[in-house]
């Protein structure tokens, strides 16, 4: 075993044969499994470093292939090269970023080059917000969005599409989205055939109805009224009724939030739930199933399809009607390859941006099938053969309508059931079949199963639930670990689990700032989103200053309050996200962070310069929980006895 590396025996005992290796800085270098390809993590450029590699994860090799990141002098990713192997054929795909160096674009991404070589350009307003997007291909440059306007709280309120058509949406005083278009209702090109949707809320902020107006502004036309929908809820905010213009559906639940029955039109169906495990063992329809599971709670069969899992706990293959489809994942747990005889060209390769958004699907030869452009988390355009199509998303950033540049619908999913079981209309205007696979946020449609790949699990829209148990267990906030967004997919997106971030802000002293001194603390948090409003919710804050134990939740200490302010305001604080160790879920890791913080106690007195100090505590809390951090410049004392020269600011307490 290389010097400085060690097996973590607790993890091996925890998950039976799986474990990891770390280097002398306690950074994970290898994840090993009882079977299958290990994952190797390389830092600082490894054997072939480049000038800006120090302090960064620069390379991952895994079952799918390899990924290499390159950085600029400010630590921003400038190039990601993803190499994947599918059916014996290896292809490299590159995503590149450029950053502004002057004016309002300083430090912001000014261009993003996709694997197809299409380039998305970004311009900024005086406030540093994105003001416009352009698309450049071999055929020239065109505008995608211009004149982007924002609400005071930050959400885009509207823009102008590249064809000159205006897009406008409205919010109420609570920041809830109340009106938005589903396709073009006016503009250039052929006669638009879109609708304007109004969202109605009750006193509990639950969506009770969608009403519509047609291109003439009429709310009473047959086109408008046919699209209207109403919704009902139980006292747990779970959706229990859905009434579109032509039919009706209802849903019933047990005490744990598992769906136990539904009606569609005049037909009734029941779902059988094991009360001890919350597993759905059978369903009478609409497609009858009898389900089986493994010991981890992963569904292994439904009567027609079998599901197989790797020792990483990931869905490795599915077999249906004698045809097997296989999946490969990278070291970031993203699915990057799908292969099988039922997959066009034999395989699909997937590429993601640094925020985890799917930006492209590519065939076995690496040719682009479709690529997606985002404004923040909102998909706004898809590219096919270099041609842009405009995406109209809803209040939770789900794509609902896609139009061509003549404002004609080519794809629509705006009149489906709330849980997404109905398939999109892929030819609404008779222009030919148009396929698009994004569904609810974070989801990709899989034709071979009818399920939606959802990062860590697979969602079954027919049952409104996952087919695997939540990897973060009950910390997902729901009694049933198979439940999807607590039975309310209109308002909520699936939480991505908790996140641990080490935040470092400048020390509050002029002399210390001359040396770039930083004070670091630990935040455990998660996103919550409802009706288009996305907020960070803090689950734990751990700060240390001038003593041997950390301040925890709701401390009145000045340092704690200053840390909270730095977290809420962002700049000039720096954030270092900490991924969970391989083999641990986000929930497991975040619980470990909380436990490590509660148990933290320095054996020697606080020392602001050499440590132990707040920086020592932040690093040790993360590492004792099994995580790893890069070296943080300016975080004096982070190792207990700082390897950096100790500046003359003894007595300054961050």
DSSP states of 244-283 as a string? -SS--EEEEE-TTS-EEEEEETTEEEEEEE-TTT--EEEE
Task: Return d(Cα 49, Cα 370) in angstroms, integer.
Answer: 34
Residue 571 confidence (pLDDT):
54
pLDDT band per the 50, 70, 90 thresholds, residue 169: very high
- The whole-angstrom separation of Cα 596 and Cα 184 is 54
pLDDT of residue 6: 35
**Cα gap 582→28, rounded to integer Å:** 8
pLDDT at 30: 84
Beta bridge pairs of residue 543: 551
Look-up: residue for tokens 């109605």? 200
Element (H, E) at 434: none
Contacts for 341-345: CB closer than 8 Å, 24+ residues apart: 342/447, 342/448, 343/448
Give the pLDDT of residue 352: 95
pLDDT of residue 548: 62
pLDDT of 545: 64
pLDDT band at 499 (very low <50, low <70, confident <90, very high): low
Q: How far is CA 433 from the centre of its chain?
A: 29
Mean pLDDT calculated for residue range 543-560: 67
Note the pTM of the prediction, 2 decimals. Answer: 0.77
Query: What SS3 class is residue 637?
Result: coil
Reported as a pLDDT band with limits 50, 70 and 90, residue 555 is low
Position 569 pLDDT exceeds 80: no
pLDDT tens digits for range 186-211 = 755 556 789 999 999 998 889 999 99
| Position 412 confidence tier, pLDDT thresholds 50, 70, 90 | very high
Percentage, residues of the chain above pLDDT 90: 49
Contact 297, 291 (CB under 8 A): no
Cis peptide before 5 (omega within 30 of 0): no
588 has a pLDDT exceeding 90: no
Round the CA-based radius of gyration of the chain to a whole number and report it.
26
Question: Average pLDDT in the 129-145 region?
Answer: 96
- pLDDT averaged over every residue in the chain: 84
Name the most confidently modeled range: 5-14, 324-333, 366-375. 366-375
Mean pLDDT of 68-73: 93
Per the structure block, which two tokens stand in for 253?
Answer: 């639940």
Strands (E), 543-611: 574-578
For residue 383, how many other CB atoms are within 10 A of its CB? 22
Give yes or no for residue 477 having a pLDDT over 50.
no
Q: pLDDT at residue 297 above 50?
A: yes
580 or 446, higher pLDDT: 446
* pLDDT recorded at residue 35: 82
> Lowest-confidence range among 223-232, 334-343, 353-362, 552-561?
552-561
Q: What residue spans define the domains of the chain?
A: 497-624
List C-alpha distances in Å: 460 to 450, 579, 606. 7, 27, 53
The pLDDT, as a whole number, for residue 21 is 78
The bridge status of strand 409-412 relative to strand 444-445 is unpaired
d(CA 145, CA 488): 32
Confidence at residue 436, expressed as pLDDT on a 0 to 100 scale: 98
What pLDDT does 98 receive? 96
Instruction: Flag whether pLDDT at 639 surpasses 70.
Output: yes
Q: How far apart are CA 581 and CA 28, in angstroms?
A: 7
CB 358 within 8 A of CB 367: no
């Amino acid at each position: 075993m290389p010097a400085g590396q060690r097996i973590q025996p607790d993890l091996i005992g925890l998950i039976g044969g799986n474990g990891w290796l770390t280097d002398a800085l306690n950074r994970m270098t290898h994840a090993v499994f009882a079977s299958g390809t290990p994952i190797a993590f390389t830092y600082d450029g490894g054997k072939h470093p480049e000038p800006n590699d120090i302090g960064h994860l620069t390379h991952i090799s895994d079952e799918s292939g390899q990924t290499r990141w390159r950085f600029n002098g400010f630590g921003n990713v400038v190039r990601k090269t993803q190499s994947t192997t599918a059916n014996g054929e290896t292809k490299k795909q590159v995503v590149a970023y450029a950053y502004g160096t002057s004016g309002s674009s300083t430090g912001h991404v000014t261009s993003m080059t996709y694997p197809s070589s299409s380039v998305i350009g970004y311009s900024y307003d005086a406030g540093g917000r994105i003001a416009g997007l352009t698309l450049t291909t071999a055929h020239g440059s065109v505008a995608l969005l211009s004149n982007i306007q924002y609400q005071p709280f930050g959400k885009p309120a509207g823009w102008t599409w590249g064809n000159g058509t205006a897009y406008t949406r409205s919010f109420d005083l609570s920041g809830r989205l109340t009106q938005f278009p589903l396709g073009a209702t006016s503009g250039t090109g052929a006669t638009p055939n879109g609708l304007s949707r109004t969202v109605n809320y009750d006193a509990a902020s639950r969506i009770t109805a969608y009403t519509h107006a047609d291109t003439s502004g009429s709310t009473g036309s047959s086109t408008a009224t046919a699209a209207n929908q109403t919704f009902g809820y139980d006292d747990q905010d779970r959706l229990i009724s859905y009434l579109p213009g032509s039919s009706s559906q209802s849903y019933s639940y047990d005490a744990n939030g598992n769906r136990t029955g539904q009606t569609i039109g005049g037909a009734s169906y029941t779902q059988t739930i094991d009360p001890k495990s919350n597993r759905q063992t059978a369903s009478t329809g609409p497609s009858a199933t009898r389900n089986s599971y493994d010991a981890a709670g992963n569904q292994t069969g439904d009567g027609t399809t079998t599901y197989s899992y790797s020792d990483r706990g990931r869905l490795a293959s599915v077999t249906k009607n004698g045809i097997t489809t296989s999946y490969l994942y990278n070291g970031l747990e993203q699915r990057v390859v799908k292969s099988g005889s039922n997959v066009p060209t034999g395989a699909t390769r997937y590429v993601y941006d640094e925020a985890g958004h799917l930006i492209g699907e590519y065939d076995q030869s690496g040719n682009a099938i479709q690529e997606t452009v985002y404004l923040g988390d909102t998909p706004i355009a898809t590219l096919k053969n270099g041609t842009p199509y405009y995406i109209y998303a809803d209040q939770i950033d789900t794509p609902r309508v896609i139009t061509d540049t003549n404002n004609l619908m080519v794809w629509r999913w705006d009149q489906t059931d709330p849980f997404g079981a109905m398939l999109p209309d892929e030819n609404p205007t008779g222009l030919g079949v148009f396929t698009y696979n994004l569904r609810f946020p974070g989801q990709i449609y899989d034709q071979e199963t009818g399920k939606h790949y959802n990062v860590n699990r697979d969602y079954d829209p027919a049952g409104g639930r996952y087919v695997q148990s939540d990897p973060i267990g009950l910390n997902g906030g729901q009694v049933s670990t198979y439940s999807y967004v607590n039975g309310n997919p209109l308002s909520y997106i699936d939480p991505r689990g908790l996140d641990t971030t080490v935040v470092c802000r400048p020390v509050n002293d002029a002399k210390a700032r001359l040396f770039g001194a930083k004070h670091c603390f630990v935040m455990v948090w998660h996103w919550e989103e409802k009706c288009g409003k996305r907020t960070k919710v803090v689950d734990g804050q751990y700060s240390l200053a001038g003593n041997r134990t950390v301040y925890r939740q709701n401390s009145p200490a000045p340092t704690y309050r200053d840390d909270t302010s730095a977290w809420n305001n962002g700049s000039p604080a720096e954030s270092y996200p900490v991924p969970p160790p391989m083999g641990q879920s986000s929930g497991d890791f975040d619980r470990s962070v909380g436990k490590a913080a509660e148990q933290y106690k320095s054996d020697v007195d606080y020392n602001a310069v050499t440590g132990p100090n707040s920086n020592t505590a932040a690093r040790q809390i993360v590492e004792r929980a099994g995580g790893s951090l890069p070296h943080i410049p300016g975080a004096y004392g982070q190792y207990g006895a700082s390897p950096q020269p100790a500046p003359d600011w003894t007595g300054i307490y961050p």
